[in-house]
């Protein structure tokens, strides 16, 4: 985004703001998520801000750069290698779903935690992967030559797809590793990413929720924080140290590059870096698209999830079995729910739409001087496209959150496969055999599903959809609601009492005895009717409008960003995050939102103990942790007479940076990034140096918990500690 710094205060004329935009890049800004292979261009700034090691040690293609110690953890988090034995440090919430699959009422790792006693005690995590980025190379000159900027995307994409396929194959043959070409700057630039993905990952350490999720929703996306948000895993490899499928005989991955750990701490103002895989930012979108986020999508999401989370929490608090079923799902739903609230607040406080409009005035003035024939028409076309899609986006979002937010209706996707079997012309025996296999394959869903909980969600969300979408709802919904006397509870009871997918046993029983003549039972199933009718309406009335808008927007945004790059003579525009490896840099820095007295930039174990509430699932401090505090048994991890827990810095982060290492000026690990403060969550769209901060757990708290609470000092012995 063309950032307006603090030169556009309330009351200044737009003309002055527009003039200030000509100088919107501040060389000392902490904003930016930079491609590691481009860091040489930032060397002077990095050195001036405090970096105390050669830039090529942060990234190089020879295998010795710190990029070899940073991993994409799973599909959307970051981890780092912290020992030569492939030990991974990441966030507690990044490992949460994996650990849920390993937990049971007998082995409740959320309540009790887990710390392996030795290598043999480490637990295999089926399906979990970590990916190392070995090299990144700009290949734009091999992808876009001969393609006019204004070439329509359909033709352009076809050519580019073929070029990418050939280039990836060439790199894979030459390197013996995976090669992926990804677009940057809305497809105006392309980079090839050479990587290795390891598939044998094992759980090593996981603190209980009383440490790893301490503060719960109350403290999520907030400061101050008191959460020990970390977990530990290990990469295992084949005999050649290369990726291999799980095997008992695999050995810990031998890492030639791993992060040393600094145990002497830091102070406010110290230089920091965050290295990781930020997921998605949209810094360069128009004010018209930002309006859709601010006034349409986020409010709909928040309203639906507020009701769903209240119901889930009620059932989880009443039944430990339901808690275990829903704890990971709830964490994911709540994470977005609170983030969007902070996002709206931050955008409003920052007058983001006004700033965007001021940027666009400056762009329009510049466009008149640009030689590109299309430049002056970009903003009017973006406005027209966005406004024509606003209504369809609202209706689609209500379906996503209010209808498909009900798990029973989500299962309509699975029922589609059942219906297809009836239409396939199988014999009765073959039909039953196929349906039984499909039902068995759904066991994963029912392991974490409770029909009574979901029925309450139905009763809460369905009325929102009916009210907000008026007559534009399926006829089936209108008739079924009328048949229940427009009584939502009666309708819900009728659905859940009769639907096959309300329980696995029901679905299994049907599958075991199904004959072709039973197709009517399946087609008349209320879950199938609810799903298929809304899917048909969506396909006919909504999807064409949204898809048309997305195609138009994609084309226009590519041209808009192309123009912004031409306007950026100093090459200070960083590409939006796209889950590729990036480095951000800044300083340890407190928070001063709204001109209020500055909050502390650090929290302590003392603060954790003072918040203890045995009646609260969020603030219940484990007894052993309290004992360690009361006895001042801090070992070598104390600072003064306490243990530091979390701290703030002003690095630019996004989703995907969860688990990213926070490094000091020497590239040593001082913390583990895990969150952003409430008002700063809008940094995906607008970075404000006064409000945007990243929250990290202090590495000394991590090591304290591992050694003193978890009794796993053997893990610390394999790390490289410096001070």
- Indicate whether 708 belongs to any domain: yes
Question: In a 10 Å sphere around its CB, with 0-12 CB exposed, 13-18 middle and 19+ buried, how is residue 697 labelled?
Answer: buried
Q: Nearest-CA neighbor of 125 among 9, 218, 231?
A: 231
Task: Give the CA distances from residue 629 to residues 209, 219, 607, 624, 635, in Å, rounded to whole numbers and listed in that order.
Answer: 18, 21, 11, 9, 11
3-state secondary structure of 672: strand
DSSP assignment of 430-491, as one string?
A: HHHHHHHHHHHHTHHHHHT--HHHHHHHHHHHHHHHHHHHTT-S-HHHHHHHHHTTS-HHHH
Q: What is the pLDDT of residue 18?
A: 32
Cα–Cα–Cα angle for 462, 410, 466, nearest 5°? 20
Q: How far, in Å, CA of 297 to CA of 351, rounded? A: 18
Is residue 292 located within the same domain as residue 275? Answer: no
Question: Is residue 2 predicted with pLDDT exceeding 50?
Answer: no
Q: Write down the residue that tokens 């889950």 correspond to.
A: 579
* Tokens read off for 28: 């000392």
Is residue 337 located within the same domain as residue 211? Answer: no
- Indicate whether 10 belongs to any domain: no
- Condensed to tens digits (0 to 9), the pLDDT of residues 451-485 reads 999 999 999 999 999 999 988 999 999 999 999 99
* Mean pLDDT value across residues 411-440: 93
Question: Is residue 23 predicted with pLDDT exceeding 80?
Answer: no
DSSP 538: I
- Condensed to tens digits (0 to 9), the pLDDT of residues 370-413 reads 987 889 999 999 999 999 999 999 999 999 999 999 999 999 98
Q: Per the structure, how many domains does the chain have?
A: 3
* Tokens read off for 299: 């409010």
Q: Nearest-CA neighbor of 580 among 145, 1, 138?
A: 138
The pTM for the full model equals: 0.85
Is residue 173 located within the same domain as residue 261? Answer: no
- Condensed to tens digits (0 to 9), the pLDDT of residues 680-719 reads 899 999 999 888 999 999 999 999 999 999 999 999 999 9
Catalytic residues: 93, 229, 658
- Indicate whether 8 belongs to any domain: no
Is residue 374 located within the same domain as residue 452? Answer: yes
For 522, residues 6+ apart whose C-beta sits below 8 A from its C-beta are: 415, 418, 419, 422, 500, 510, 528
Task: Give the CA distances from residue 194 to residues 64, 197, 221, in Å, rounded to whole numbers and listed in that order.
Answer: 15, 10, 34
- Indicate whether 565 belongs to any domain: no
Q: How many residues appear in the chain? A: 723
Question: Is residue 26 predicted with pLDDT exceeding 90?
Answer: no
DSSP assignment of 60-97, as one string?
A: -TTS-SGGGGEEEETTTEEEEE-STT-EEEE-HHHHHH
Cβ neighbours, 10 Å, residue 656: 25
Q: What is the pLDDT of residue 593?
A: 64
> Is the Cα torsion angle 195, 198, 203, 205 positive or negative in sign?
negative
Is residue 120 located within the same domain as residue 138? Answer: no
679 pLDDT tier (thresholds 50, 70, 90): confident
Is residue 272 located within the same domain as residue 312? Answer: no
Q: What is the pLDDT of residue 596?
A: 67
Q: Write down the residue that tokens 């075991």 correspond to.
A: 512
Is residue 165 located within the same domain as residue 297? Answer: no
3-state secondary structure of 336: helix
Is the Cβ–Cβ distance between 529 and 476 less than 8 Å? yes
- Condensed to tens digits (0 to 9), the pLDDT of residues 616-661 reads 989 999 999 999 999 999 999 999 999 999 999 999 999 999 999 9
Is residue 395 located within the same domain as residue 534? Answer: yes
Q: What is the pLDDT of residue 592?
A: 77
- Condensed to tens digits (0 to 9), the pLDDT of residues 533-549 reads 999 999 999 999 999 99
Q: Where are the alpha helices (DSSP H) in 80-150?
A: 92-102, 109-112, 140-143
497 pLDDT tier (thresholds 50, 70, 90): very high
Q: What is the pLDDT of residue 16?
A: 31
3 pLDDT tier (thresholds 50, 70, 90): very low
Domain CATH number, residue 65: 2.40.10.120
> Each residue of 131-153: b (16+ CB within 10 Å) or e?
bbbbbbeebeebbbeeeeeeeee
- Indicate whether 149 belongs to any domain: yes
- Condensed to tens digits (0 to 9), the pLDDT of residues 234-254 reads 999 999 999 999 999 999 999
Is residue 466 located within the same domain as residue 605? Answer: no
Q: What is the pLDDT of residue 571?
A: 76
Domain residues for the domain of 190 are 132-197
3-state secondary structure of 653: coil
Is residue 144 located within the same domain as residue 259? Answer: no
Is residue 165 located within the same domain as residue 305? Answer: no
């Amino acid at each position: 985004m063309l950032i307006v710094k603090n030169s556009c205060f309330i009351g200044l004329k737009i003309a002055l703001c527009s003039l200030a935009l000509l100088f919107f890049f501040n060389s000392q800004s902490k904003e930016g998520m930079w491609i590691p292979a481009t860091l040489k261009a930032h060397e002077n700034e990095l050195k001036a801000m405090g970096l105390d090691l050669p830039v090529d040690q942060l990234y190089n293609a020879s295998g010795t750069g710190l990029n070899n110690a940073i991993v994409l953890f799973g599909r959307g988090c970051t981890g780092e290698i912290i020992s030569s034995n492939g030990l991974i440090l990441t966030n507690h919430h990044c490992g949460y779903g994996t650990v849920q699959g390993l937990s049971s009422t007998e082995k409740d790792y959320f309540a009790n935690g887990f710390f392996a006693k030795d290598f043999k005690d480490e637990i295999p995590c089926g399906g979990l992967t970590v990916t190392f980025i070995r090299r990144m190379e700009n290949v734009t000159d091999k992808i876009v030559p001969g393609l006019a900027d204004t070439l329509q995307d359909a033709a352009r994409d076809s050519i580019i797809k073929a070029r990418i396929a050939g280039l990836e194959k060439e790199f894979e043959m030459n390197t013996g590793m995976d090669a992926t070409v990804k677009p940057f700057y809305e497809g105006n630039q392309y980079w090839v990413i050479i990587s290795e993905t390891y598939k044998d990952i094992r759980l090593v350490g996981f603190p209980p929720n009383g440490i790893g999720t301490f503060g719960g929703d109350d403290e999520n996306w907030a400061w101050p924080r008191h959460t020990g948000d970390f977990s530990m895993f290990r990469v295992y490899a084949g005999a050649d140290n290369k990726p291999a499928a799980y095997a008992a005989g695999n050995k810990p991955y031998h890492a030639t590059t791993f992060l040393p750990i600094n145990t002497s701490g830091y102070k406010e103002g110290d230089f920091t870096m965050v290295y990781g895989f930020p997921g998605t930012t949209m810094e360069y979108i128009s004010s018209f698209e930002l309006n859709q986020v601010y006034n349409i999508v986020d409010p709909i999401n928040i309203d639906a999830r507020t009701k769903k989370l209240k119901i889930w929490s009620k059932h989880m608090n009443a039944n430990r079995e339901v808690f275990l079923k829903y704890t990971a799902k709830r964490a994911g739903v709540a994470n977005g729910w609170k983030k969007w609230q902070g996002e709206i607040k931050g955008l409003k406080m920052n007058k983001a739409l006004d700033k965007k409009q001021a940027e666009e005035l400056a762009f329009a003035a510049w466009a008149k001087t640009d030689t590109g024939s299309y430049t002056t028409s970009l903003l009017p076309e973006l406005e027209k496209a966005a406004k024509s899609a606003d209504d369809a986006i609202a209706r689609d979002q209500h379906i996503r959150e209010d209808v498909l937010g009900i798990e029973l209706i989500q299962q309509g996707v699975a029922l589609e496969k059942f219906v297809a079997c009836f239409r396939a012309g199988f014999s009765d025996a073959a039909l039953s055999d196929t349906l039984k296999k499909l039902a068995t394959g759904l066991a994963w869903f029912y392991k974490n599903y409770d029909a009574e909980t979901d029925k309450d969600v139905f009763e809460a969300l369905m009325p929102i959809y009916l009210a907000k979408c008026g007559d534009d709802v399926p006829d089936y919904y209108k008739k079924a609601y009328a048949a229940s006397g427009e009584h939502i509870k009666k309708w819900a009871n009728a659905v859940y009492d009769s639907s096959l997918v309300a329980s696995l046993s029901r679905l299994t029983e049907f599958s075991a005895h199904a004959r072709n003549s039973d197709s009517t039972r399946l087609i008349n199933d209320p879950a199938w009717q609810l799903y298929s009718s809304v899917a048909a309406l969506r396909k006919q009335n909504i999807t064409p409008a949204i898809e048309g808008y997305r195609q138009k927007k994609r084309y226009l945004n590519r041209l808009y960003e192309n123009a912004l790059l031409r306007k950026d003579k100093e090459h200070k525009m960083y590409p939006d995050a796209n889950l590729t490896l990036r480095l951000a840099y800044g300083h340890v820095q407190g928070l001063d939102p709204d001109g209020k007295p500055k909050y502390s930039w650090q929290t302590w174990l003392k603060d954790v103990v003072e918040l203890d509430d045995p009646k609260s699932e969020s603030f219940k401090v484990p007894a052993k942790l309290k004992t360690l505090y009361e006895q001042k048994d801090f070992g070598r991890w104390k600072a003064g007479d306490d243990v530091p827990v979390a701290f703030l810095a002003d690095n630019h982060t996004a989703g995907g940076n969860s688990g990213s290492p926070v490094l000091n000026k020497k590239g040593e690990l001082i913390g583990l990034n895990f969150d952003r403060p409430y008002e700063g969550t809008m940094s995906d769209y607008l970075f404000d140096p006064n409000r945007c901060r990243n929250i990290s757990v202090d590495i000394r708290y991590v090591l304290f918990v591992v050694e003193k609470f978890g009794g796993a000092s053997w893990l610390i012995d394999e790390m490289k500690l410096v001070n």
